[in-house]
Amino acid sequence: MEDYYFGNPNYSNPNCAHSFVTMATPTSDFMLSDYLLLDDDVIMIDNHHQHQDQESWSQSTESSSLAAASSNVNHEFGGATTSSHNNNMQLLDFVDRKCKNNVSKRNKQVEARQRVVFRTRSELEVMDDGFKWRKYGKKSVKNSPNPRNYYKCSSVGCGVKKRVERDAEDRSYVLTSYDGVHNHQSPSSNSYYTTSPFSIFHSNDINWSLHAPAVNSSSSNS
DNA sequence: CGAGTTTGACCAGCGC
DNA sequence: GCGCTGGTCAAACTCG
């Protein structure tokens, strides 16, 4: 099986090299195993749910949009997520509990903006995805003991935003949501990234990594 | 000194 | 209309 990484392996912080995670198997701390298309513009990714039966999956995908999402999973992830059918069953529950309750009013106003939500198991709240982010807000949210951090892409003219918060139910997981699509290449030296956050799923021949951010190290103190 | 973070204030949507 | 909530702004602050 190929190794799949999140982030650019060539864009690492020597001070944080210890946190570099390789995803060779579904048992890695950071595992890309699920994502879901919600209402045409929201994708959720869950990285730990793995054990559901096929029957419940079929039941839970009666919705056409969700069924479409499941097909996308297999298509987009290819060999990296051969078991994604099973994984996404839990993801549907996850979406019901998390996404549908948490989609912000503000986000509802943002039409045609793509939104990707990652649920990753990591001690690090900020994951380097190759883009440069500037923190512009921090907010305590209801029903969660953990604050939510707001980031904007630092690139001029790029309006992509992301929110990062600890999972209220399991603090070992981090929820990272991306709003919008980058209109530029990744500033990282080796531009494996394309303009869309979804592009990570199209890189069958590219290694992706999860590691500590190369910049904004002070943000981890917040 | 510039870039990034912190944090309180402000705004807008929603439910009652 | 009012209060609650999530999201954003911007001045002050920190750090390299």
Lowest mean per-residue pLDDT among A76-85, A121-130, A136-145: A76-85
Nucleotide C11 C1' to residue A121 CA (A): 35
Nucleotide B4 C1' to residue A120 CA (A): 25
Query: What is the pLDDT, as a whole number, of residue A104?
Result: 36
Nucleotide C1 C1' to residue A162 CA (A): 34
Q: How is A18-56 classified by DSSP, letter by letter?
A: GG-B-BSSTTSSS-----EEETTTEEEEESS-----HHH
Contact A126, A213 (CB under 8 A): yes
Give the C-alpha separation, A48 to A27, whole Å.
8
- Checking each nucleotide's C1' against the CA of A143, the nearest proves to be C5
- Checking each nucleotide's C1' against the CA of A221, the nearest proves to be B5
Packed helices A64-77 and A84-94: angle between N→C axes, nearest 10 degrees: 140
Does residue A154 reach within 7 angstroms of strand B, measured from its CB?
yes
Give mean pLDDT, residues A120-139. Answer: 81
- Mean pLDDT (chain A) is 52
Give mean pLDDT, residues A6-20. Answer: 33
Nucleotide C16 C1' to residue A82 CA (A): 46
Q: Nearest residue (Cα to C1') for C4?
A: A142
* Dihedral sign of CA atoms A184, A196, A8, A121 in order: positive
Query: What is the pLDDT, as a whole number, of residue A113?
Result: 55
* Dihedral sign of CA atoms A72, A76, A79, A80 in order: negative
Nucleotide C7 C1' to residue A161 CA (A): 11
Q: Nearest residue (Cα to C1') for C6?
A: A104
- State the pTM of this model: 0.59
Helix (H, G, I), strand (E, B) or coil at A120: strand
Q: Nearest residue (Cα to C1') for C7?
A: A106
What confidence category does residue A179 fall into, taking pLDDT thresholds of 50, 70 and 90? confident
Does residue A132 reach within 7 angstroms of strand B, measured from its CB?
yes
Domain A113-185 has CATH 2.20.25.80: yes
Query: What is the pLDDT, as a whole number, of residue A43?
Result: 58
Give mean pLDDT, residues A94-120. Answer: 48
- Checking each nucleotide's C1' against the CA of A106, the nearest proves to be C7
Nucleotide B8 C1' to residue A22 CA (A): 40
A165 is written with which tokens? 């918060």
Nucleotide C11 C1' to residue A217 CA (A): 22
Helix (H, G, I), strand (E, B) or coil at A134: strand
How many helices (H) and strands (E) chain A has is answered by: 5, 7
The domain spans of chain A are: 113-185
More confident residue, A148 or A112: A148
Cβ neighbours for A28, distance < 8 A, ≥ 6 positions apart: A21, A22
Q: Nearest residue (Cα to C1') for C9?
A: A136
